[in-house]
């Protein structure tokens, strides 16, 4: 179940996601294409989004109701316009977007095996936009492996 490899290489790439406002964009397919282009067989893919009001996460990919439920859960956990928040220069969704981003993360390490992103059967990689308005989000991917 294990393989020692003589040397590792680095391969860097990235892409931009145009989000339609709050909601999920599946980026699994784009990541799989980049793995194939990298030529990496065994190693690690590190995915990173360069913003503080969206996040990258792994979520169940079969039933879209899971993402609907997630959105409803987080809308209740971190309420838009909560009077607790003083940072609201960009609107009632400004500070909640930062909190959501911190609770769900901007950086993911995913194994690469047999030249493919080794996601579980029900795992998809999503960019979660937390702002109400559409945004352009920059994603970087770093592969290290043999």
- CB closer to a second copy, 25 vs 42: 42
C-alpha to C-alpha distance for 139 and 106, rounded to whole angstroms: 10
Q: How far is the CB of 68 from a second copy (least distance, A)?
A: 7
**Site of tokens 């920059």:** 138
- CB closer to a second copy, 13 vs 132: 13
Residues 144, 32: contact at Cβ < 8 Å?
no
Q: How far is the CB of 126 from a second copy (least distance, A)?
A: 10
Q: How far is the CB of 15 from a second copy (least distance, A)?
A: 8
- CB closer to a second copy, 21 vs 52: 52
- Strands in 123-129's sheet, in edge-to-edge order, are 23-26, 123-129, 54-60
């Amino acid at each position: 179940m294990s393989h020692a490899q003589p040397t590792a290489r680095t391969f860097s790439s990235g892409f931009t996601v145009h989000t339609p406002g709050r909601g999920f964009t599946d980026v699994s397919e784009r990541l799989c294409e980049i793995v194939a282009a990298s030529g990496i067989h065994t190693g690690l893919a590190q995915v990173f989004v360069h913003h503080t009001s969206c996040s990258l996460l792994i979520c169940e990919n079969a039933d879209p109701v899971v993402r609907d439920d997630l959105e409803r859960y987080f809308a209740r956990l971190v309420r838009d316009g909560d009077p607790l928040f003083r940072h609201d220069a960009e609107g009632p969704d400004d500070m909640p977007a930062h909190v959501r981003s911190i609770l769900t993360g901007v950086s993911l390490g995913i194994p690469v095996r047999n030249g493919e992103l080794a996601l579980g059967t029900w795992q998809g990689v999503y960019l979660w936009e937390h702002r109400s308005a559409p945004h352009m989000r920059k994603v970087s991917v770093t592969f290290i492996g043999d």
